[in-house]
Structure 1
Amino acid sequence: MSTPPSPTTSAPHLSPAVEHVLRAHNPTQELISELRSMAIQQPKLVKATRHKVHPPRPDAPPPPQGDPPAPESITSWKMLEHLYRQSPCPFPTLARGLFTTWTSEEDVPEPLVSKRKDKPEVWKREEEGGQWKIVARGYDKFFNVGEVGWTEWTALAMNTKGPYELTLKSNGCLILVAALTPSRLLVTSKHSLGTRTRKEAPADGSAVGEATSEAEVIDEDDNTSGHPGAPPQVSHAERGEDWLFTHLKQVGKTEADLAKVLWERNVTAVAELCDDSFEEHVLPIPKELTGLVLHGLVPNSPSFDSLPAREVADFAKQWGFKPTEIVTLDSIPAVLDFCREGAKKGEWEGVGVEGWVVRCRVAQPSENKVAAEEAQAADPIDALTEEVANLVIADPGDQPVQKDKKGKMTKTPPYPPGAPFFFKVKFEEPYLMYREWRELTKTLLPVLDGIEVVGHPETVGRSRAKGSKKDPIKVGDRFKKRPETRVYLNWVINEMIRNPNLFRHYGRNLGIIEVRDKFLKWASTPGVGKEVWDNEVGKSTAKAAGELDGQNGDKVKKVMDWKKTIIVPIAIPGCGKTSVAVALKELYDIGHTQSDNVAASKTAPQFLRNIAKLLETNTIVFADRNNHLEQHRKQIREVAKACKVGPVRLVALNWSQHSVPMSTTHRLMSTRLIARGDNHQSLRAKKDDVRFHEEILWKFITSTEPLNEDEVDEVIDMDPTDGFEDNIRRAVKELAPVIGWDIPSEEKLKDAIEAARNYKVDLRKEDQKPSKKEKTQKIRYYALLAEVDLRTFLDDLLAEGTAVDPGLTKFWTHLTTKDRVNKRPHVTLVHEADPENEDKAAFWADCEKIANSASPPLYEFTVSHVITDGRVMSLVLSPDSLCMRPQEGDNALEKPTGAGWGADKMKRLHITVGTGSSGIGNVEGGKLVAKWRDGKSNDVHVLKLDPEPKIVGTLKGFAY
């Protein structure tokens, strides 16, 4: 087994975080310490989940004498996926799938990962007296051709060396097999140990997510609802374990046999779970490949390495795994040529394939230069690339190529010379089209509940399922570009109406192939669907042929030669878009036009004319409007298309609301509106009447339509939690490399920030007045508006690998699939329906005063339990945890006192997560908590939280 070289001198291709780990005296200890530090300080980037190790299988023999005991828990480390593309990467490892254990001869407990207020040196001291060990490890994140700068074909020819081992890209989900002890195996999915639900081996462990991630969701969607022929509550890891033992039995091997080999070699077997009876993917899996397809053996070390593909294939045959196909080539032109032929067919030896994973090594900077030049002369890379580009795709779910801080795409792989290097090649046909149909079908599944589809009258007027969503489905433009998909769209809508049972398991990734095959049969049958298919698809044949002749490549080159740029903020009031615009104008003398400066009652037409006018004399124009609706962005896109001095690109400054809970966004923006006071053309917050501007904010937050990447040419992610100065600094830092600006000096930047701070509006419109409806709305109750995204919060708590009562997970699945999770979670304090008495009147008055305050306190509390009775789900507050932190003064925590804060009230405080149907009111959440507290119910499913997560909130009045 080869070992990748460790850097002895500074290596510019390595990220500083990775290089720091590899230079450490104990790289494993340093790696986990760095990950733990990030999980504490930046929980959005790194998440640590501790899983309790499952007991041995019921039929497992006793461990041999002298075997070390199995660890009681294992920690899984998960990084925010899209940041792997950054150069340099912020993480100390690029591993996807990393599981560790902690051992201590002094019985020092494993250091926790949680939100901490103490200093890093305290965390470091906790790590003394014990050692971390990598028990299972997956591949480093690798990318598709063209997805990042270092996987462009020309960069690959320059920076890699053969042999190039091409292994068939399996159509399934990742499974890791490692040694827990010399006689016991550990089987995991990418980030989890899975669940065990067999009656003979009940789950008794739990997973505690000690760092949460609000920016992304779990990579895999376990099939927890079951299907014919499969037991309920089956995870990917558990199904993978079942297949593993089947394979071992077929070759006369035991768990202990394999564990001994993996333990001694300290490697993880990386396999793909391919089983259409469990979960279908895009392409059907041949019967002979059903099971665990082994495609890697990875050493359990901080630096990435992988055994040669031929050795992996031999290992697969020896231990009963399904081997993966291997093709060995000697150069990048040979790989290109092979992919060109394979992509045209979309299959390998008669079987439809998704693509290939290519394994090679990083070349010395000078080692490949001559070879690359010779290859270019003999069989030009650029010419081959242009031909293959129309047959090979970047993953539609992946981000576009990222740029480094200098504005140049990073061409060098993030590894030292000699290190293993993987990249993948995905075939466009039929894979991309089939994948598109699958995603479109999932988008349309609410049709089964009677929901309408915009533009499809056949879906209107049907009866709706009780409690179903009311909003019509809008099919995105990305599903309307391909003629085949346009035909499929009309067919699948009508098929859902005619034959709903065909789609009954589609949401659980079952029936995908059956639906597609039925459509293809319809589309090829004369007199049924063939004429429709030929008519629609035939229109695009000439155009498609033109693109394959190179017209599409010319278009790409032309679009990159931008003449003008429109900066398009996507925001809500209070994000700071105008401050950013003023600072940019001060620094770079850009054009700047504000929608709020248009005096007409209908501002859009004049605002768009102003943008067009500024484009005549400015290279860069800042279109200062919230642009939170897709319609707004479309209007600006039309201006760009109509510009005669183009092409004009759109660069979005996206203040995405998904990074923090809606209630947090609302509080931050409300505070900023109050702080700016009268310095706005129309939306002027008043300290003595906060309710009006707060309602306007809610309208913006709830009506915002998320930005699709195909709406603009570049997206820069802004952070709504950034303060005034950080907002401007982020915009300058991120825009400069995209547009080609120089980074300003600190002095100039401070001057621009000061100019933005001193900006005063020129136009003052009449105060906005509340509508008649808003005037008559009466406060019905006061509550703490909890700053928590319930979907993220409970997805973590009820994730696979936890010993959660199935009643909880079943009802949570119901709430999420039926969209019954409360969007504005709150803790009701006093309601108009409460019995009238002196204390209620006094408490109501106190709440009213606090809610209308311009600087209300922030309340903090912890959640002790999640409970449900199958009708309603509630989060139970820990009675003694509630306290408040004034926003002014010394900010010390205080216990609320006075009328309404008694012990009996504290015991009943809760958040209603959601109800099973529209006929069940949120008030049932409180009744459930009272019944459970009083011990009057035996049918309540309960999850005790330890540690108890903390939530903050502000006191608000609610009219609904």
Structure 2
Amino acid sequence: MQGLSTVLPSSERAIRQTTHNFQDQLNVTSWKALDHLYKEVPCPLPTQARGFFTSVFEEGSAELTILARGYNKFFNINEVPWTCWQWIEENTQGPYEMTVKEDGSLILASGVNDGKDLLVTSKNAMNLAHSETAYIWMDKHLKEAGKTREEFAAFLHENTATAVFELCDDEFEEHVMEYPERMRSLYLHGINRNAVELDTLPSSKVAKVAADFGFRHINYFVFDSIAEGRELTDQVRKDQMLDGRAIEGFVVRCRTNNDTSPFMFKIKYEQPYLMFREWREVTGRILAGKPVWSKYELTMHYVAWVKMQIKKDPAAFINMGVKGTIGARKKFLKYHQSLDGRSPAEVLDEPESNLVLLMPVATIGCGKTTLSLALSKLFGCGHIQSDNVLKTKKRSNAFNSAIAKEFASHNVVIADRNNHTGRLRENLITGVRKELPTCQVVALYWSHENAPKDTILQTTVERVISRGDRHQVLTPEKVPDFRKIMSGFIHSMGALDMYSEAKCLVQNVIELDPLTDAMKNLKTTIDALCLLYPDVFKRPLDSEIEAALQSALEYVPIPHNMHQ
């Protein structure tokens, strides 16, 4: 294995290695890369394996032996451009193998020391509780099949392969989906060759290996066309279960039209999986005294219930990070039937919040100020422009304070700033919520994920040139290297992720297109706001929308010197 040794010196913060000792006779190195690197095109990593273990470097050699490897990092539908349905339909071919996505901890197993010993790891580490628990389950399965660790290790070594498992054991650690005692197990769902490029066996062969060695196998389906596969996934989404139980989703294996290597993606279900995951995460935020967000309407009812339970019995929530969330969820669902239509605010004896923060997530030239001015004219929204905050030190704090003050006279305030990184978004929302904890947050998201960066740069540069000197700070005349500045913003734009980025703290997202015209984005925003907050936003006449947009396009700000 070549490549990691040459990448390591210049990328120590991006790629990390940890050396583990296996049975006092073998040193094993685990490799872990930052998640965002897998999304870059082309991927800068020497392998896209997620879960990667090698022998240590030998003196004077750049060669590494791959001891165990997981799948290539794969993404959920619409998470990256190459997992949008249109891309998949146009660029992939069958057969499409769809395996049920069990909800547990990833476990890898391989044969080492010439197949005499069985190496068992978690995704990124060895000798931890996860791998130790996996060993226990492995011995149990192998014994029931009349096999031994040594036989399984020899099989994997002979095939130069890694067995990929999902450890599902609620007694050890709860995830999101419930696994009652009869379903707790090691689920074998893949066998990968120990190679740089992904080479994974068909599900039919994996199922046979599982049967031979006594492991629980993953249920799978095979379709010739993606349309047939989508029919199944749509039916499961409608039923919210498969074979009588709720599931996290599916993992799909296929091939791209121009490549013989496997291509994988996943389909996660909103209901109930992602909603239940949201409940687990908001429980942690409540216990940590942090603001909570919600994507699902039922979440706020769950929040109300959890707060009541914590007041009644705080000791019951001490170990909630490892166990207890499933039991709490089941109790809430039973309790929810007794709400009799009351709102979460009534249950908590708190007033409903009617404060809404509109937070653009964009880069220069997307049209956020034009949109903000038009919304302000149509609905009387408060509007704070970052470019008008002249304080040179702690500008973010000054910006947050100005927004909080604007809420004194407006129920809806627009935070007109790029907010293009997770750090900026979290700083803004937590800063405002410090003063107004019940404020709802709506992201106006000019998504940069569906078009090449160069195309977005070209379009937005043309807009900046067209507006000329009608900007407080960034104009072609005042800032000769404005293209370079704009390019920097685009390349540092962080995708809005409702589930990882500091839990985002966002209630709703309105997705806009940086390449389309201002009128289309304005109407998209108006329609969404009227639907989300019908008591606050009433749809104007088309003539009023046109007049508001024209006024916004004619806006001339008071210029001032360039500042940070």
TM over 0.5: yes
Alignment-derived partner of residue 513 in structure 1: 326
Shift of 1:130: 6.0
Residue of structure 2 aligned with 1:426, choices 261, 265, 268: 268
What is the 5 A alignment of 1:550-949?
564-566=367-369, 611=385, 626-628=395-397, 651-654=418-421, 656=423, 711=443, 713=445, 736=457, 739=460, 752=480
Alignment-derived partner of residue 532 in structure 1: 342
Paired letter, 1:86: E
SS of equivalent to 2:209: helix
Residues of 1 paired with 2:405 and 2:445: CA distance? 15
Matched, 1:170 2:102: yes
- CA 248–755 in structure 1, closer or farther in 2 if over 3 Å, else same: closer
Aligned 8 A contact 2:366 2:446 in 1: no
Paired letter, 1:487: H
Alignment-derived partner of residue 522 in structure 1: 335
Alignment-derived partner of residue 49 in structure 1: 18
Deviation sequence 1:890-919 (CA, Å, 0-9, x none): xxxxxxxxxxxxxxxxxxxxxxxxxxxxxx
Shift of 1:653: 4.7
Shift of 1:255: 1.3
Shift of 1:52: 1.8
Aligned 8 A contact 1:651 1:712 in 2: no
Alignment-derived partner of residue 304 in structure 2: 490
SS of equivalent to 1:186: strand
Q: How many residues are paired up?
A: 430
Residues of 1 paired with 2:199 and 2:309: CA distance? 49
Deviation sequence 1:557-589 (CA, Å, 0-9, x none): xx99x972249xxxxxxxxxxxxxxxxxxxxxx
Aligned 8 A contact 1:102 1:131 in 2: no
- CA 754–254 in structure 1, closer or farther in 2 if over 3 Å, else same: closer
Alignment-derived partner of residue 315 in structure 2: 501
Residues of 2 paired with 1:95 and 1:262: CA distance? 18
- CA 610–158 in structure 1, closer or farther in 2 if over 3 Å, else same: closer
Alignment-derived partner of residue 144 in structure 2: 250
Matched, 1:92 2:46: yes
Matched, 1:272 2:166: yes
Residues of 1 paired with 2:460 and 2:481: CA distance? 20
Residue of structure 1 aligned with 2:77, choices 115, 121, 145: 145
Matched, 1:291 2:185: yes
Matched, 1:437 2:252: no
Paired letter, 1:139: Y
Deviation sequence 1:516-560 (CA, Å, 0-9, x none): 111111112xxx4344379999xxxxxxxxxxxxxxxxxxxxx99
Using the size of structure 2 for normalisation, the TM-score is 0.67
Residues of 2 paired with 1:609 and 1:323: CA distance? 56
Using the size of structure 1 for normalisation, the TM-score is 0.41
Residues of 2 paired with 1:362 and 1:308: CA distance? 16
Alignment-derived partner of residue 219 in structure 2: 325
Paired letter, 1:421: F
Shift of 1:749: 12
Matched, 1:185 2:1: no
Name the larger-Rg structure.
Answer: 1
Residue of structure 1 aligned with 2:87, choices 149, 155, 169: 155
Paired letter, 2:6: E
Aligned 8 A contact 1:733 1:743 in 2: no
Deviation sequence 1:500-521 (CA, Å, 0-9, x none): 23323202x2011111111111
Paired letter, 2:260: G
- CA 338–749 in structure 1, closer or farther in 2 if over 3 Å, else same: farther
- CA 622–425 in structure 1, closer or farther in 2 if over 3 Å, else same: farther
Paired letter, 1:192: A
Aligned 8 A contact 2:385 2:416 in 1: no
Aligned 8 A contact 2:383 2:416 in 1: no
SS of equivalent to 1:430: helix
Paired letter, 2:45: F
Residues of 2 paired with 1:328 and 1:359: CA distance? 9
Residues of 2 paired with 1:655 and 1:435: CA distance? 21
Residues of 2 paired with 1:623 and 1:733: CA distance? 30
Shift of 1:87: 2.0
Shift of 1:292: 0.8
Residues of 1 paired with 2:484 and 2:149: CA distance? 67
Aligned 8 A contact 2:384 2:413 in 1: no
Residues of 1 paired with 2:222 and 2:403: CA distance? 48
Aligned 8 A contact 1:649 1:713 in 2: no
Deviation sequence 1:265-303 (CA, Å, 0-9, x none): 101000001000001111101434312101000111111
SS of equivalent to 2:17: strand
SS of equivalent to 1:147: coil
Paired letter, 2:157: W
Aligned 8 A contact 1:157 1:332 in 2: yes
Deviation sequence 1:132-177 (CA, Å, 0-9, x none): 1010000000011111111111110111111111100011010000
Alignment-derived partner of residue 136 in structure 1: 68
Deviation sequence 1:795-820 (CA, Å, 0-9, x none): xxxxxxxxxxxxxxxxxxxxxxxxxx
Paired letter, 1:515: A
- CA 514–642 in structure 1, closer or farther in 2 if over 3 Å, else same: closer
Q: Give structure 2 stretches of 5+ with no counterpart.
A: 348-361, 374-381, 426-430, 466-475, 486-564
Shift of 1:90: 2.3
Residues of 2 paired with 1:299 and 1:175: CA distance? 15
Aligned 8 A contact 2:54 2:66 in 1: yes
Shift of 1:86: 1.9
Residue of structure 1 aligned with 2:209, choices 296, 300, 315: 315
Residues of 2 paired with 1:749 and 1:140: CA distance? 47
Residues of 2 paired with 1:420 and 1:45: CA distance? 25
Residues of 1 paired with 2:336 and 2:35: CA distance? 38
Paired letter, 1:488: Y
Alignment-derived partner of residue 228 in structure 2: 334
SS of equivalent to 1:497: helix
Identity of aligned residues (%): 33
Aligned 8 A contact 1:84 1:94 in 2: yes
Residues of 1 paired with 2:48 and 2:477: CA distance? 34
Aligned 8 A contact 1:293 1:322 in 2: yes
Aligned 8 A contact 2:103 2:176 in 1: yes
Paired letter, 1:44: R
Paired letter, 1:308: P
Shift of 1:740: 5.6
Paired letter, 1:43: E
Deviation sequence 1:338-377 (CA, Å, 0-9, x none): 111101122110011010011111113xxxxxxxxxxxxx
Aligned 8 A contact 2:384 2:402 in 1: no
Paired letter, 1:172: G
Paired letter, 1:529: L
- CA 752–188 in structure 1, closer or farther in 2 if over 3 Å, else same: same
Deviation sequence 1:660-704 (CA, Å, 0-9, x none): xxxxxxxxxxxxxxxxxxxxxxxxxxxxxxxxxxxxxxxx9xx99
Paired letter, 1:191: N
- CA 756–532 in structure 1, closer or farther in 2 if over 3 Å, else same: closer
Residues of 2 paired with 1:300 and 1:78: CA distance? 17
Q: Give structure 1 stretches of 5+ with no counterpart.
A: 1-27, 56-69, 109-127, 196-234, 365-416, 447-472, 538-558, 568-590, 592-607, 613-620, 659-699, 717-731, 758-960
Residues of 2 paired with 1:749 and 1:173: CA distance? 56
RMSD: 4.1
Alignment-derived partner of residue 74 in structure 1: 28
Residues of 1 paired with 2:340 and 2:263: CA distance? 46
